[in-house]
Structure 1
Amino acid sequence: MTKQLFKSSAIVGSMTMISRIMGFVRDMLFANIFGVSSATDAFFVAFKIPNFLRRLFAEGAFAHAFVPLLAEYQAKGSPSQLKLFISKVAGTLSLVQLLLSIIGIVAAPVLILLFAPGFFWESGQYELAVQMLQITFPYLLFISLTAFAGGILNAQGKFAVPAITPVFLNISMIVAAVWISPLMAEPILALAWGVFAAGVVQLVFQLPALYQLGLLPKLSLGFNDPDVKRMIGLMLPAIFGVSVVQINLLVDTLFASFLVSGSVSWLYYSDRLVEFPLGIFGVAVSTVILPHLAENHAANDVEAFSKSLDWGLKLVLLVGLPATLGLTFLSEPLLSTLFQYNEFGVNDVLMASKSLMVFSLGLLAFILIKVLVPGFTSRQDTATPVRFGMYSMLANVVLNAVLILPLAHAGPALATTLSAYLNAALLLWALLKHKVYQPCQKWWQFIGQVGLASMLMSGFLYYFVDSDLWLYWKASQRSLALLLVIGLALLIYLFALWLLGVRPKHLAGSQSN
């Protein structure tokens, strides 16, 4: 079982890495071509709203409600019943998302006022954001169906195709930025059309894989089907339980819209860098562990369930802690190397680094939430993550209001970081309290080993990396220096782990079969 979990996580992580690297290329082009302005702020809000809803409904709540039911069908039902269930979910989801897309297009002026009220007083920014939101909103329909297809493939153990699919979003937006934007009177509009096209391409890409499995659905409505009703009943509360971080990030955008022009863009670039390790590692482990936990629960194997969680949490600490510290110490060099070209200047690097440092400190909590929430949703318990999620969102709003004046755009970032740790702590506490998760032996020793190795790596970054130098080097110097520093930091961390006695078998021991 351990080898299969590692293999599946490696597949998802490597495919996601390709997508994230393409995402960095995309964002480097954005910074180079469009810089930081009221127009880029408008686009990032127009893209964030449907993208947020996509994560809320499709990747978040839908996946966590749909995959456990699929596991039930695979364990207890016939292939024909499984196909019928998939077809009913597909038809129901398509109709709901189509209606939501139409409502979103019509209500775009109101949505921009709700999510970025500060734009209303900026000349032309509000109108531009509304226009781009009307173009990007149908992305929700296509990407929700893409996530539906990916959920089926993941439940069948086919992780590669869903994991590589997001690369088409980046390709589409790169094409729009480089070749389409120069042809338009308002160049930034090309990015909105790139988002629209990406939704169609990503859905079409997954259909052949479903066809090969014989699970390509025939659309039919299932509002009266008891299992579809059960899925909807699980999905509605899960909207808040599994997507708390995304909701909090949207709240950050709302508060940042009242700040100086460029604040939303600085937060966007900060979030993008945090999303890199979170997407490669956190999403990979979460994607792989959810079907396994659902299978363990369907088989009523309590011990295997706990061991699967233990494996995931040890992996989170092993990778998440050094990633959190490394990203915090290298925030300025990373931003400078990736984005400091033409329209994205030194001041933008300095401003974005303030929010990135704070976001980075929350990376470990963001990853923990990705792994802990499946511990509830795989057992079809969506109520508990909802309750804790509501506490986290309330804390985020209060902290945003308190921190935004003294810390400017770094205030919302700190609010999201602190509320994420609150959420992660509550989730872990509940799993331990109800003995759903029982830690394996030598956890404190493992924490000490990883903690000490991370401290040694951090000491190297603190004493030997001068972030200011990156601001004035040429692009080639910045890139080479950053690669060298990251390579040395990784070697120090791994060598320290080896000296402290950490071996691969210690992770394997958490998940035996």
Structure 2
Amino acid sequence: PHPTAPTPPPRRAPGTTAPPLLGRFLARAAAVTAALTAASALLGLLRDQTIAHLFGASVESDAFLIAWTVPEMAATLLIEDAMALLLVPAFSHALARRAARRTQDPALADDAVRALVLATLPRLCAALAAAAALLALGAPWLVRLLAPGFGDPQLATDCTRLTAVTVFTFGITGYFSAALRAHGHFLLPAGVYAAYNIGIIATTLTLHSLWGVRAAAAGVAVGSLLMILTQLPTFLRLTRAHRTPAPSRA
């Protein structure tokens, strides 16, 4: 006897909707983001308690609070606002162009996402590095502007120079986060602040006996570097050139 032919799946009537896969994905993304945000907030509280326990209400803690102004402003501008508003649409457009080009000709070698990265990331790195260097050089004037008459301006200047690196690292973090979000990856962008706070806490606890409150400022730099490293492997995987080899000729 002949085997029974498989029954084709029923066709949906016009006007019906597909299973809510997108809705479930968005719900999971929102839940993970909320959980990581809560974890980051708890780690931030632990960070603040660690610094308060080690340095208390002192000139050292005041010097760190002056330097803390830099990452606070940089995070708002470079991670959440400017990078997200500008680059998420740019990467989404590049992904749409990549898909359209592959539909037209699977053998096309160009890649819109890769082209966007090559056109923007090197220039952004140069601009952010220059801005961070200028901020470090101008730290004495910034301290006088933020805290005129502060008792230990050299300590505040040293801490500010250490935290000035976040102008570079936060900018790159925001760039990576925008690229990952445009690709539908929300876990790592939501977890960068957890990595950041872990870096601050670990560095402060390890080095405070040697460097004093400068260890906390160095922890800001270390934590911001961890934000980049957390996303770097996935960013490289998602933005590498997607090339379909042309068919070989006989």
Q: TM-score, normalised by structure 1?
A: 0.39
| Paired residues, number | 210
- 2:3 aligns with none
Provide the identity percentage.
24
Letter in 1 for 2:137: V
Q: For 1:154, which of 175, 181, 192 is the aligned residue?
A: 181
Match of 1:122 in 2: 150
Q: Partners in 2 of 1:199 and 1:85 — Cα distance?
A: 24
Q: How many angstroms does 1:10 deviate by? A: 0.9
Aligned to 2:231: 206
Question: In the TM superposition, what whole-angstrom CA distance separates every residue of 1:269-302 from its partner, at most 9, and x where no partner exists?
Answer: xxxxxxxxxxxxxxxxxxxxxxxxxxxxxxxxxx
- Say which of 43, 46, 50 aligns to 1:25: 46
Distance in structure 1 (CA, Å) of the matches to 2:90 and 2:175: 13
Match of 1:106 among 128, 137, 148: 137
Return the match for 2:198 from 127, 147, 171. Answer: 171
Distance of 1:128 and 1:183 partners within structure 2: 14
- Partner of 2:148: helix, strand, or coil? helix
Matches within 5 A, 1:36-55: 36-55=57-76
1:400 matched residue in structure 2: none
| SS of the residue 2:111 aligns to | helix
Residue of structure 1 equivalent to 2:115: 84
Following superposition, the deviation at residue 216 of structure 1 comes to: 4.9
Q: SS of the residue aligned with 1:121?
A: coil
Give the RMSD, CA atoms, in angstroms: 1.9
Superposed, which structure 2 residues align to 1:314-393 within 5 Å?
none
> 1:3 aligns to what?
24
Partner of 1:123, secondary structure, is coil
Query: Would you say the 8 A contact 2:52–2:61 is kept in 1?
Result: no
- The alignment partner of 1:166 has SS state of helix
1:181/1:188 contact within 8 Å kept: yes
* C-alpha distance in 1 between matches for 2:150 and 2:65: 16
* Amino acid corresponding to residue 122 of structure 1 in structure 2: F
Higher relative contact order (CA 8 A, sep 6+): 2
Deviation string for 1:422-473 (max 9, x for gaps)?
xxxxxxxxxxxxxxxxxxxxxxxxxxxxxxxxxxxxxxxxxxxxxxxxxxxx
**Equivalent position of 1:141 in the other structure:** 168
Matched, 1:193 2:218: yes
Q: 2:12 matched to which residue of 1?
A: none
Shift of 1:85: 0.6
Q: Which of the pair is proportionally richer in helix?
A: 1
- Cα deviation, residue 123, structure 1: 2.1
Q: What is the match of residue 6 of structure 2?
A: none
- Other-structure match for 2:79: 58
What letter corresponds to residue 211 of structure 1 in structure 2? L
Q: Distance in 2 between matches of 1:122 and 1:82?
A: 48
Does the CA contact (< 8 Å) of 2:177 and 2:189 recur in 1? yes
Question: In the alignment, which residue of structure 2 is the partner of 1:431?
Answer: none
Q: Distance in 1 between matches of 2:202 and 2:97?
A: 46
Offset of residue 190 of structure 1? 0.7
Query: Partner residue of 1:300?
Result: none
AA of the residue aligned to 2:130: L
* Larger of the two Rg values belongs to structure: 2
Q: TM-score, normalised by structure 2?
A: 0.77
